[in-house]
Amino acid sequence: MKIDLRSDTVSRPTPGMLEAMFSAPVGDDVFGEDPTVAALEAKTAALFGMEAGLFCPSGTMTNQIAARVHARPGEEVILHKLSHVYYYEAGGLMSNSGLSVCLLEGDRGMIIAKDVADHINPDDLHRPRTAMVEVENTMNKGGGAVYSNQELAAIGEVCRNNGLKYHLDGARIFNALAVTGQSTRECGALFDSISICLSKGLGAPVGSVLLGDHEFIRRARRVRKVFGGGMRQAGYLAAAGIYALDHHVERLKEDHRRARQLGEALQQLQWVSEVLPVDTNIVIFKVKEPLTALMVTGKLAEEGVLAIGFDRQSVRLVTHLDFTENMLDQTIDIIRQLRF
Ligand SMILES: *Cc1c(COP(=O)(O)O)cnc(C)c1O
């Protein structure tokens, strides 16, 4: 049996989740008639103290819709150069919405309020108007790094003072909240819009929810239609999301502990040069020259452990719902016995 640590998207629905999906009441959601989709949207919005929600097929879509609603063609988004919205969404900010970007640097993929303030364009006809700031929490490319509440609030203040929209890519927001102890409502109060993935650590097969105020979601619903994301009897999928919110949030701490144990085991190996701090469920480690990430992932795959190369020298492992205690022990044994 393979041990799949490529991503927290690889987990399969549990029997309980499948049962919830099978028994969901559904209708045509494009006509606004699916009670389960409506229930998921309302539940998620209430959880974060936001006015409304919109169920979408993917986190890429929720992020891209947010940018489309918050900014107009020719305007600029401030974000980290390694953020998913810029780095992994196939140039969507530009092709979907005609937006310019201002790419910031920052430790482990995280930006700081001072840099945001320093990069807001002045009112000058030569410059694109700055419209929006985006942060990602946890930060995937930063090894699942978690923002401090203070920094998120400080960035929010810069946004408010300058009339900028503030969007959170919260694909793994529940992983972040499990670490900081911040409540979902406190989190919701910071942002104009939030994108939440149900298909990552929460273990649903499909889906993300976009949150914001009534007017934002009204406009977002129209953009979702334009992007081809209006779904019909989507309640079967939304039911999995409701189940995930009810049953799979508390257990994220287990994923974090297992990731930490993997990180500690890797730290002791000769052929590993560095392990990024393990804050949540993502472990990124660097291998020593002349080894490459590809050589290591190839060798791991031969032993039945799947991982992905993140760049030439870095490998990423992600723990999730289907990665058990037994698999953790096996994985640690396997990596300790690898010889190059
Ligand atoms: C997975 C992910 C998304 C959304 O990805 P989809 O595969 O489109 O659902 C967005 N942001 C981050 C940080 C992610 O990890």
Residues 230, 34: contact at Cβ < 8 Å?
A: no
Q: What percent of the chain has pLDDT over 90?
A: 99
Are residues 105 and 212 part of one domain?
A: yes
Q: Does the beta carbon of 136 sit less than 6 angstroms from any atom of ligand 1?
A: yes
Q: What is the pLDDT of residue 1?
A: 78
Are residues 178 and 127 part of one domain?
A: yes
Q: What is the pLDDT of residue 161?
A: 98
**Is residue 294 pLDDT above 90, yes or no?**
yes
- Average pLDDT, integer, range 208-216: 98
DSSP codes of every residue in 20-63: HHHT-----GGGT--HHHHHHHHHHHHHTT-SEEEEES-HHHHH
Are residues 262 and 173 part of one domain?
A: no
pLDDT in tens, 50-61: 999 999 999 999
pLDDT in tens, 29-80: 999 999 999 999 999 999 999 999 999 999 999 999 999 999 999 999 999 9
- Which two tokens mark 88? 């992994």
How many residues appear in the chain?
Answer: 340
Q: Give exposure, 304-334, as e/b (b: 16+ Cβ within 10 Å).
A: ebbbebbeebbbbbbbbbebeeebbebbbeb
The residue range of the domain holding 98 is 14-247
| Residue 8 in domain | no
Are residues 243 and 273 part of one domain?
A: no
Are residues 234 and 304 part of one domain?
A: no
Are residues 306 and 173 part of one domain?
A: no
Name the residue of 200, 202, 310 whose CB sits within 8 Å of the most ligand 1 atoms, as the mutation to test its pocket. 200
Are residues 168 and 33 part of one domain?
A: yes
Q: Which of 220, 103, 193, 112 is nearest to 157 (CA)?
A: 112
Instruction: Give the burial class of 231: count Cβ atoms within 10 A of its Cβ; 0-12 exposed, 13-18 middle, 19 or more buried.
Output: buried
| Residue 5 in domain | no
| Residue 261 in domain | yes
- Average pLDDT, integer, range 230-240: 98
59 CA distance to ligand 1 centroid (A)?
5
Q: Whose CA is nearest to atom 6 of ligand 1?
A: 59
Are residues 67 and 209 part of one domain?
A: yes
CA gap 266, 338 in Å, rounded: 11
Q: Which residue among 247, 275, 310 closes a domain?
A: 247
pLDDT category, 340, cuts 50, 70, 90? Answer: confident
Q: Does the beta carbon of 64 sit less than 6 angstroms from any atom of ligand 1?
A: no
Q: Does the beta carbon of 171 sit less than 6 angstroms from any atom of ligand 1?
A: yes
Q: Which of 317, 282, 337 is nearest to 3 (CA)?
A: 317
Are residues 270 and 128 part of one domain?
A: no
pLDDT in tens, 296-326: 999 999 999 999 999 999 999 999 999 999 9
CA gap 120, 134 in Å, rounded: 13
pLDDT in tens, 141-195: 999 999 999 999 999 999 999 999 999 999 999 999 999 999 999 999 999 999 9
Q: Whose CA is nearest to atom 3 of ligand 1?
A: 59
Which residues lie across from 317 on neighbouring strands? 283
Atom of ligand 1 nearest to the CA of 200: 1
| Residue 320 in domain | yes
Are residues 158 and 41 part of one domain?
A: yes
Backbone φ and ψ for 135, nearest 5 degrees, come out as -125, 155
195 CA distance to ligand 1 centroid (A)?
9
164 CA distance to ligand 1 centroid (A)?
23
Q: What is the pLDDT of residue 177?
A: 98
Residues 159, 133: contact at Cβ < 8 Å?
A: yes
Q: What is the pLDDT of residue 250?
A: 97
Name the residue of 197, 281, 282 whose CB sits within 8 Å of the most ligand 1 atoms, as the mutation to test its pocket. 197
For the chain, the average pLDDT equals 98
Q: Does the beta carbon of 60 sit less than 6 angstroms from any atom of ligand 1?
A: yes
Q: Whose CA is nearest to atom 4 of ligand 1?
A: 59
